[in-house]
Amino acid sequence: MVACWRTSRVWRELPAAPWLRRLTSLLERFRKGGPAASRAWRQAMLDQNPVAWLEGRDRLQPRLLWVLVAAAITFWFAGFLHSPRSWATVEMVILWPLFAHYFLCLWIAIQAPRRLADDKHCGALELLLSTPLGPWRIVAGILAVLRRRFGGALLALMALDAFMVCAHVQLQQYRNLTADHFLVQLSCYGVIVFSLQAWSMAVVGVYHGLVEASSVRASLIVIWKLGLLPWLLFFLTLLFLEVARPSWRFLPRLNEHMVFGSWAGWHVLVCGGFLISAKWRLEDQFRSLAAQTGRRGWRMWLPFARGLQ
């Protein structure tokens, strides 16, 4: 009976209701902009890089990202105005940048592989490679859109982090306490680590989008290599120093400088290594990688099984 009821309503294609058409048109306009904005974007980018024009037509994600960034800035600035001498605690100044920047890196890891992975899956990448457009121009167009989409948000979050650190230092002076120099040092490390990690997520994500069978698989590998592996190596380093020092006295003691330096060092080494390898392979082996099918198996979970081979 349910099948008969459904068939009587879907056996022919009827036009959508007027309110539904208006809503769909409004959402499409919000997503890709009006005719003037679309024409300006096409004139600016189509001759410069067609891949950048194609990837950058969807404006929903950057607008959503800026809404979230503006909401975060408004929230923390309102907290500062409400209680300027009590809101900037050490826990908040450390945990908020970690959460915000890793959320942004996660977003980059999800979006970076999608263009090449989807085009390879549907066959559009083969048609694209048959055009005069060189392989590196294809990669440069994707990276240009990722930089345009996420670069401003990353700078805004770093400015918010700097504001929170300055507010914390001022708070310590209000209370006649010594300013936390370790927090300033950690912030300097964070600027280097998060900038390198975000850019590595973009480049390595584009590479794995080219070589993997799907964008989901590529995103998982990028998150494992650039997000989880540095933390794993960092904790193993701390564990080794803590366990081995009673037997080997020449090992350094664990202190703030050792902990922060190890955290930043492993992130720079891992992200920098995968970044250099991915960039080199995209430049020199793009066509051969595009012709391969996505490889499956347990090797995808090895940290250096791909990208540094």
Q: Tell me: the pLDDT tens digits for 237-255? A: 888 887 777 777 666 677 7
Q: Where are the alpha helices (DSSP H) in 12-123?
A: 18-32, 35-45, 50-55, 60-82, 90-111, 114-122
**Could you tell me if residue 5 is inside a domain?**
no
Q: What percent of the chain has pLDDT over 90?
A: 28
Across 20-24, 75-79, 156-160, 304-308, least confident range = 304-308
**Could you tell me if residue 165 is inside a domain?**
yes
**Could you tell me if residue 9 is inside a domain?**
no
The answer to whether the beta carbons of residues 199 and 279 sit under 8 Å apart is no
**Could you tell me if residue 110 is inside a domain?**
yes
pLDDT at 304: 45
Which of the four pLDDT bands, split at 50, 70 and 90, describes residue 203?
Answer: very high
The answer to whether the beta carbons of residues 285 and 211 sit under 8 Å apart is no
Which of the four pLDDT bands, split at 50, 70 and 90, describes residue 173?
Answer: low
Q: What percent of the chain has pLDDT over 70?
A: 73
Which of the four pLDDT bands, split at 50, 70 and 90, describes residue 307?
Answer: very low
Which of the four pLDDT bands, split at 50, 70 and 90, describes residue 303?
Answer: very low
HSE-up of 203 (CA within 13 Å, CB side)? 21
pLDDT at 309: 41
**Could you tell me if residue 8 is inside a domain?**
no
Total domains in the chain come to: 1
**Could you tell me if residue 14 is inside a domain?**
no
pLDDT at 91: 77
**Could you tell me if residue 15 is inside a domain?**
no
Judge whether residue 214 has pLDDT over 80.
yes
Strand (E) or helix (H) holding 10: helix 2-10
Domain housing 180: 33-301
pLDDT at 3: 73
Q: What is the pTM for the complete model shown?
A: 0.80
Which three-class secondary structure string do you get for 213-282? Answer: CCHHHHHHHHHHHHHHHHHHHHHHHHHHHHHHCCCCCCCCCCCHHHHHHHHHHHHHHHHHHHHHHHHHHH
Greatest mean pLDDT among 15-19, 51-55, 107-111, 183-187 lies in 107-111
The answer to whether the beta carbons of residues 109 and 201 sit under 8 Å apart is yes
Rounded-to-integer distance, Cα 284 and Cα 277, Å: 11
Nearest to 305 by CA among 196, 221, 232: 221
Instruction: Calculate the CA 221 to chain-centre distance.
Output: 13
- The rounded mean pLDDT for the chain is 79
pLDDT at 308: 41
Which of the four pLDDT bands, split at 50, 70 and 90, describes residue 102?
Answer: very high
Per-residue pLDDT averaged across 277-300, rounded?
73
Per-residue pLDDT averaged across 82-97, rounded?
77
Which of the four pLDDT bands, split at 50, 70 and 90, describes residue 284?
Answer: confident
- The residue behind tokens 């366990």 is 243
**Could you tell me if residue 205 is inside a domain?**
yes
**Counting every residue, how long is the chain?**
309
Rounded-to-integer distance, Cα 103 and Cα 15, Å: 41
Across 7-16, 56-65, 77-86, 135-144, least confident range = 7-16
